[in-house]
Amino acid sequence: MIQHLSSLPILLPMLAGVILLMPPCGKSVSIRRFASVTFSLLTFLISVALLLKVQIDGSLVYAIGDWSAPFGIVLVADPLSTLLVCLSSLLGMVCILYSCAGDDEQGSYFHPLVHFLVLGVNGAFLTGDAFNLFVFFEVLLIASYALLMHGGDKKTTRAALQYVIMNLVGSAVFLIALGVLYGVLGTLNMADMAQKISLLQGDDVYLAKIGGLLLLVVFALKAALLPLHLWLPNTYAAAVPMVAALFAIMTKVGVYSIMRVYTLIFGDEAGELAHMAQNWLWWLALATIAMGTVGVLASQDLRKLIANLVIISVGTLVALVTIQTVEASSAAIYYLVHSTLVTAALFLLADLIGRQRGKVADRITAGTPVAQPALLGVCFLIAAIAVIGMPPLSGFIGKVWLLQATLNTEYSMVFWALYLVASLAVLFAVAKAGSTVFWHHQTNGSKNKPPANMATESSIKDRVQPVQIVAVIILVAGAPLMSLFAGPLSEYAIGAASQLHDFNNNIDLILLGGK
């Protein structure tokens, strides 16, 4: 059992999804919720167990069907991938918990779909084979298509149609890229590709370059990098909040793939093709931050604002990834975990706030006061401080770290200026949004305290349900916990990043050490 541990974060959600489709779970709502929460908790615990095992025994390579590395498909559980598997399992669990308040019944098959999405995301993080990566991308995409339609209206259908068409074209490009790379290299095992790419000669180099850059286009589409980011704000704002929170991990799958492919395959050892896209990516990442900032300032409602915050975080992450040093990558890993948790928390909070404000919903204007200002306000304050990056929460540590990591790079001053202005703009926009939503009321129109009888006004239905607040608190608690345990976490991130950059170790591990 223990040697199959690295495959369990993929197998368990698949099993859970299938079981949840079957009669006892399919018919009764309470059984379905119970089974779904149990399974997601189990997936999370197994992911944590895998993380601990990797910490103790070093990275694991699992050859599926015992076909060894260059021929069969391998799953690589190293510190980076297991950390992200834990993150996605946690996010899946929180979203399922949140949906148990009643949102899961707005459409059919919510629970199985979430498990399938977690399956796809975990698979994409763990796999060491490029074609297998494509398959897991498709698994997570088709689950995300269906989840996006969950409980939706006209607006959602339009956003979903555009999202699906965009991603289908992306999948076609992905396949063409894989075809080109396979035609040149004769392998799609990532470690084997990394080894063979430096041996290419003549025209094959250009073919490999085409393949690699096409891959980059696909990953940039998933990650929502600048010219390909237009789908994101509409999609995230149209999705049901817990689905949007779950989608917070999906852009990170794109960033993770860029990290893997461009550090391992097209990294230092790639001969002529080493760091071929670095300059492009760096400026595109900066432009993405700028665009996200403009979007944040222009947002009319909370969900759009958070969706634009996601774009800023993607830009920041990609900028860090292109620097290609251990320090930058470790900062990226820390920032990735932080930004995923915080944006997911904000999506859920925006929903809770929107529900209590009646007609104005989550639009950033004066309206009906929130029924539970203390509870939601404190949660929002913590999440906002974390996302802005003010001390003492995790955002601040991430920000200092990433500024430090970029200090010695060529264009660091451009990055510093842009990033700090962006932070200021985010501070301004989020503070304005928070104060408008919580303090400006239509009835009295001033910053007075909300009327005392307000709690009785709101109906029971709109009040935050215990499972919802538990889900939000799990995510919001991430920010203080990540700054409290910043020491061990940053050590972990540095370890994961140094393993990511250790070319020979990776090759040996995957091609020779496959058990």
Partner 1 sequence: MELLYAASVGLLVSCGVFLILRSRTFPVVLGLTMLSYAVNLFLFSSGRLSLNSAVVLGQSSEYADPLPQAFVLTAIVIGFAMTAFVVILSIRARADLGNDHVNGHVPEINNKRKV
Residues of this chain that interact with partner 1 (CB under 8 A) are 131, 135, 138, 142, 145-146, 149, 153-154, 157-158, 160-162, 164-165, 168-169, 171-172, 175-176, 178-180, 182-183, 188
Nearest-approach distance from CB 240 to partner 1, in angstroms = 16
Nearer to partner 1, 158 or 449 (CB): 158
Written as six digits, the tokens of 236 are 């995230």
Nearer to partner 1, 160 or 259 (CB): 160
Q: Distance between CA atoms of 51 and 398, rounded to whole angstroms?
A: 22
First CA to last CA distance, the chain:
14
Nearer to partner 1, 81 or 187 (CB): 187
Instruction: Map residue 30 onto helix, strand or coil.
Output: helix
Element (H, E) at 473: helix 466-484
- Please give the DSSP secondary-structure letter assigned to residue 409: S
CA distances from 326 to 188, 195, 274, 279, 352 (A): 26, 21, 16, 18, 39
Nearer to partner 1, 234 or 340 (CB): 234
Nearer to partner 1, 172 or 298 (CB): 172
Nearest-approach distance from CB 11 to partner 1, in angstroms = 19
Q: What is the secondary structure of 196-260 as a DSSP string?
A: HHTT--THHHHHHHHHHHHHHHHHHHHHT-GGG-THHHHHHHHS-HHHHHHHHHHHHHHHHHHHH
Nearest-approach distance from CB 238 to partner 1, in angstroms = 11
Nearest-approach distance from CB 181 to partner 1, in angstroms = 9
Nearest-approach distance from CB 292 to partner 1, in angstroms = 23
Nearest-approach distance from CB 119 to partner 1, in angstroms = 15
Nearest-approach distance from CB 161 to partner 1, in angstroms = 5
Nearer to partner 1, 135 or 360 (CB): 135
Nearer to partner 1, 157 or 279 (CB): 157
Nearest-approach distance from CB 168 to partner 1, in angstroms = 5
Instruction: Map residue 392 onto helix, strand or coil.
Output: coil
**Burial profile 392-414: b = 16 or more Cβ within 10 angstroms, e = fewer:** ebbbbbbbebbbebbeebeeeee
Nearest of 400, 392, 423 to residue 490 by alpha carbon: 400
Q: Distance between CA atoms of 499 and 129, rounded to whole angstroms?
A: 18
Q: Distance between CA atoms of 398 and 379, rounded to whole angstroms?
A: 20
Give the CB-side neighbour count of residue 335, counting CA atoms within 13 A. 29
Nearer to partner 1, 48 or 142 (CB): 142
- Please give the DSSP secondary-structure letter assigned to residue 189: B
